[in-house]
Amino acid sequence: MNGADSVFVFICTALVFIMTPALALFYGGMVRSKNVLSTSMHSYALIAIVSVQWVVVGYSFAFGDNLGGIIGGFQHALMNGVGFEPNTIYSATIPHNLFFMFQLMFAIITPALISGAFAERIKFSSFLVFITAWIFLVYDPIAHWVWGDGGWLRTLGALDFAGGNVVHISSGVTGLVAALVLGKRKNRSAARPHNIPFSILGVGLLIVGWYGFNAGSALGFNAAAMTAFITTNTAAACGMIGWVAFEWIKTKKPTALGAVSGAVAGLVAITPGAGFVTIPGSMAIGLIGGIICYFAVSVMKKKFGYDDALDAFGVHGVGGTIGGLLVGFFAIVSNETLTPKGSEGFFYGGGFSLLGKQAIAIVATYVLAGVVSFILLKVIDKVMGLRSSEEAEAIGLDVADHGEEAYGGMAV
Amino acid sequence: MKEEFDMRANEKPFVKIDIITRPESFDALKDELNKIGITGMTVSNVLGCGMQKGYKEYYRGTEVEINLRPKVKVEVVVCEVPVQKVIDAAMKVLRTGKVGDGKIFVSELTNVYKIRTGEAGWAALQDIE
Q: How does DSSP assign B17-70, residue by residue?
A: EEEEE-GGGHHHHHHHHHHTT----EEEEEEE-SSS--EEEEETTEEEEE--EE
Contacts of residue A230, defined as CB under 8 A and 6 or more positions apart, other chains included, come to A279, A282
Q: How many CB atoms lie within 10 A of CB A307?
A: 18
Over residues A150-163, the pLDDT tens digits come to 999 999 999 999 99
Three-state SS at A236: helix
Three-state SS at B90: helix
Provide the residue-wise pLDDT of chain A in tens; the chain has 412 residues: 999 999 999 999 999 999 999 999 999 999 999 999 999 999 999 999 999 999 999 999 999 999 999 999 999 999 999 999 999 999 999 999 999 999 999 999 999 999 999 999 999 999 999 999 999 999 999 999 999 999 999 999 999 999 999 999 999 999 999 999 999 998 888 889 999 999 999 999 999 999 999 999 999 999 999 999 999 999 999 999 999 999 999 999 999 999 999 999 999 999 999 999 999 999 999 999 999 999 999 999 989 999 999 999 999 999 999 999 999 999 999 999 999 999 999 999 999 999 999 999 999 999 999 999 999 999 999 999 999 999 899 889 999 999 999 997 765 4
Mean pLDDT of chain A: 96
A253 burial class (0-12, 13-18, 19+ CB within 10 angstroms)? Answer: exposed
Cα distances from A112 to residues A15, A76, A157, A211, A393, in angstroms, run 16, 25, 28, 19, 21
Domain ranges, residue B70: 2-125
Q: Cβ contact (<8 Å) for B58 and A404?
A: yes
Beta carbon pairs, A and B, within 8 Å: 29
Confidence (pLDDT) at B4: 52
Q: What type of residue sits at position A44?
A: Y
Q: For residue A187, list chain B residues with Cβ-Cβ distance below 8 A.
A: 24, 27
Q: Which CATH class is domain A3-388?
A: mainly alpha
Which chain A residue is nearest to residue B56, measuring alpha carbons? A403
Closest CA to A304 of A184, A393, A386: A184
Closest CA to A228 of A240, A205, A210: A210
Contacts of residue A149, defined as CB under 8 A and 6 or more positions apart, other chains included, come to A63, A66, A89, A90
Residue A89 in contact with partner chain B when CB distance is under 8 A: no
Q: How many CB atoms lie within 10 A of CB A45?
A: 18
Three-state SS at B89: helix
Confidence (pLDDT) at B61: 80
Contacts of residue A41, defined as CB under 8 A and 6 or more positions apart, other chains included, come to A124, A402
Three-state SS at A279: helix
Closest CA to A180 of A323, A312, A296: A312
Q: What average pLDDT does this structure show over B4-19?
A: 72
Q: Cβ contact (<8 Å) for A409 and B27?
A: no
Confidence (pLDDT) at A187: 81
Contacts of residue B125, defined as CB under 8 A and 6 or more positions apart, other chains included, come to B14, B40, B77, B78, B79, B80, B112, B114
- The whole-angstrom separation of Cα B84 and Cα B79 is 12
Centroid of chain to Cα A191 = 24
Confidence (pLDDT) at A49: 97
- Give the CATH number for residue B55: 3.30.70.120
- Where does residue B58 fall: left (phi above 0), alpha (psi -120 to 50 degrees), or beta otherwise? beta
Confidence (pLDDT) at B30: 95
Domain count, chain B: 1
Measured at the alpha carbon of residue A103, what is the angle toward residues A293 and A328, in degrees to the nearest 5? 45
Closest CA to A354 of A151, A147, A157: A157
Residue A411 in contact with partner chain B when CB distance is under 8 A: no
Domain ranges in chain A? 3-388
Q: How far is A63 from chain B (nearest CA, A)?
A: 39
Confidence (pLDDT) at B129: 63
Mean pLDDT of chain B: 87
Q: For residue B54, list chain A residues with Cβ-Cβ distance below 8 A.
A: none
Q: Cβ contact (<8 Å) for A404 and B24?
A: no
- The whole-angstrom separation of Cα A265 and Cα A140 is 24
Q: Cβ contact (<8 Å) for A190 and B27?
A: yes
Cα distances from B47 to residues A34, A199, A382, B68, B69, in angstroms, run 14, 27, 37, 6, 5
Q: How far is A310 from chain B (nearest CA, A)?
A: 20
Mutation target among A37, A186, A187 for the B interface, most CBs of B within 10 A = A187
Confidence (pLDDT) at B6: 47
Three-state SS at B15: strand
Residue A403 in contact with partner chain B when CB distance is under 8 A: yes
Phi, psi at residue A278, to the nearest 5°? -85, 165
Q: What type of residue sits at position A130?
A: F
Confidence (pLDDT) at B2: 53
Q: Cβ contact (<8 Å) for B66 and A410?
A: no
Over residues B44-99, the pLDDT tens digits come to 999 888 877 777 788 788 887 777 888 999 999 998 899 999 999 999 999 999 88
Residue A389 in contact with partner chain B when CB distance is under 8 A: no
